[in-house]
Amino acid sequence: MLEHTDPSQVQLTKDGELKHFITTEHLSREMLTEILDTADSFVDLGAKQVKKVPLLRGKTVVNLFFEASTRTLSTFELAAKRLSADVLNLNISTSSTSKGETLKDTLMTLHAMHSDMFVVRHSSSGAAHFIAEHVTPDVAVINAGDGRHAHPTQAMLDMLTIRQAKGAFAPLSVAIVGDILHSRVARSQIHALRTLGVEDIRVIAPNTLLPRHIESLGVKVYTDMQQGIKDVDVVMMLRLQKERMNSALLPSESEFYKLYGLTMDKLALAKPDAVVMHPGPINRGVEIASSVADCDRSLILDQVTNGIAVRMAVMSMAMSGQTKSRSDLNGTEV
């Protein structure tokens, strides 16, 4: 993991506004609620004839992906374009970093292009923090996923989807099922759920896919899915992160599906109005049955729609925070 300072010192301006978005941890309930409220104002934009607002007009957003992800990259690109920004997608696998250029050299080159925002996805935990600490003060950094550490925009689009379906967070019981060990999404979800007031958060997985001391995050741990899913309001399935597994942590995918795959029979143990979520991409017949993924209680497509709105919200808020911070440094009025 890359070294970084306390994220609370990096993410916010001195006035408490969003400057970077690195993690859901350490952010207040008020800040997370502001992100959700701002995203709500963008949800219906995609249905309008003109799908753009001018909030980032004249700004340059660089999608700096050191790790491939078609879904996340495409939603960030679309979000930036709907905010009227100019967008550069940097393919790191073919860039100078593969020829020995350091991350700092890459950042200096991008600074010389007068970029305004970096959306960063990296396989190393802490990479987004590192970049946020080394960019010039007028550049905003958004974490699009770093190692096993965090995926904050995914967590927030999940929170928006839950709020739309269920309203208040406090009375809910939420189960997160699957590969908790390798999931940066699960960590960001847990921090966001706790901050927003959910007290009954359950993680369900085989022992081999549970991080050590996961209970310290304030969750209840289950290795039996039938027990863990009983009477919950929300079931959040996770993808098996096979690319991050260094050893045989599972006997087989079919065995995992038998014990932990979400079927209609298992879903029947949850509350009658329980909803189903999955960050995607879905492995049908591994984590979730097609009958569940396509049923009327599935919010998976709503999550995709909300992903664009949440990323628009975070990008516009971070850019606004940067602008006000620069004005304060220059001693001018906003």
Q: Are residues 136 and 168 in the same domain?
A: no
d(CA 214, CA 180): 9
Q: 10, 36, 52: which is closest to 139 by C-alpha?
A: 10
Q: Would the annotation count 151 as a binding residue? A: yes
Residue 165 included in any domain: yes
What phi and psi, each to the nearest 5 degrees, are found at residue 203? -115, 135
Residues 6+ apart with CB under 8 A from 23: 7, 11, 143, 149, 150, 152, 188, 191
Q: Are residues 113 and 131 in the same domain?
A: yes
Q: Are residues 195 and 292 in the same domain?
A: yes
Phi-psi region of 126 (alpha: psi -120 to 50; beta: other; left: phi over 0): left
Packing angle between helix 300-330 and helix 152-166, nearest 10 degrees?
120
Q: Are residues 182 and 289 in the same domain?
A: yes
Residues 6+ apart with CB under 8 A from 327: 333, 334
Max Cα distance, the chain (Å): 63
Which domain range does residue 187 map to? 152-299
DSSP reduced 3-state for 84: coil
Which CATH number fits the domain that encloses residue 233? 3.40.50.1370
| Residue 240 structure tokens | 């098996």
What pLDDT was estimated at residue 320?
86
Residues 6+ apart with CB under 8 A from 151: 143, 144, 145, 184, 185, 188, 279
Residue 63 included in any domain: yes
What pLDDT was estimated at residue 240?
87
Q: Would the annotation count 99 as a binding residue? A: yes
Q: Are residues 117 and 238 in the same domain?
A: no
What pLDDT was estimated at residue 3?
46
Residue 139 included in any domain: yes
What pLDDT was estimated at residue 125?
87
What pLDDT was estimated at residue 112?
85
Per-residue pLDDT of the chain in tens (334 residues, 90 and over written 9) = 444 456 667 899 988 999 999 999 999 999 999 999 999 999 998 888 888 999 999 999 999 998 888 889 999 999 999 999 999 998 776 555 555 567 777 788 888 888 999 999 988 888 899 899 988 888 999 999 998 899 999 999 999 999 999 999 999 999 999 999 989 999 999 999 999 999 999 999 999 999 999 999 999 999 999 999 999 999 999 998 755 444 455 667 888 999 999 999 999 999 999 999 999 889 999 999 999 999 999 999 999 999 999 999 999 999 987 766 555 545 544 3
Residue 1 included in any domain: no
Q: Are residues 22 and 143 in the same domain?
A: yes
Q: Would the annotation count 230 as a binding residue? A: no
What pLDDT was estimated at residue 334?
34
Q: Are residues 156 and 32 in the same domain?
A: no
What pLDDT was estimated at residue 113?
86
| Residue 11 structure tokens | 């993410």
pTM: 0.91
Q: Would the annotation count 285 as a binding residue? A: no
What phi and psi, each to the nearest 5 degrees, are found at residue 7? -60, -25
| Residue 192 structure tokens | 């966001």
Q: Would the annotation count 71 as a binding residue? A: yes
Q: Would the annotation count 152 as a binding residue? A: no
Residue 35 included in any domain: yes
d(CA 192, CA 185): 11
Amino acid at 311: R
Q: Are residues 65 and 204 in the same domain?
A: no
Q: Would the annotation count 280 as a binding residue? A: yes
Q: Are residues 144 and 243 in the same domain?
A: no
Residue 293 included in any domain: yes
Residue 197 included in any domain: yes
Q: Would the annotation count 154 as a binding residue? A: yes
d(CA 327, CA 270): 51
Distance (Å) of CA 28 to CA 141, 153, 178: 19, 15, 28
Q: Are residues 114 and 173 in the same domain?
A: no
> 212: exposed, middle or buried (C-beta count within 10 Å: 0-12, 13-18, 19+)?
exposed
Q: Are residues 158 and 146 in the same domain?
A: no
Q: How many structural domains compose the chain?
A: 2
What phi and psi, each to the nearest 5 degrees, are found at residue 125? -65, 135
Distance (Å) of CA 73 to CA 70, 154, 158: 5, 12, 17
Q: Are residues 115 and 186 in the same domain?
A: no
Residue 2 included in any domain: no
State the Cα angle at 214 between 180 and 280, rounded to 5°.
Answer: 20
CB count in 10 Å sphere of residue 297: 16
d(CA 279, CA 303): 7
Q: Would the annotation count 242 as a binding residue? A: no
Q: 70, 63, 72: which is closest to 95 by C-alpha?
A: 63
Between the two ends of the chain, the Cα-to-Cα distance in Å is 38
Q: Would the annotation count 126 as a binding residue? A: no
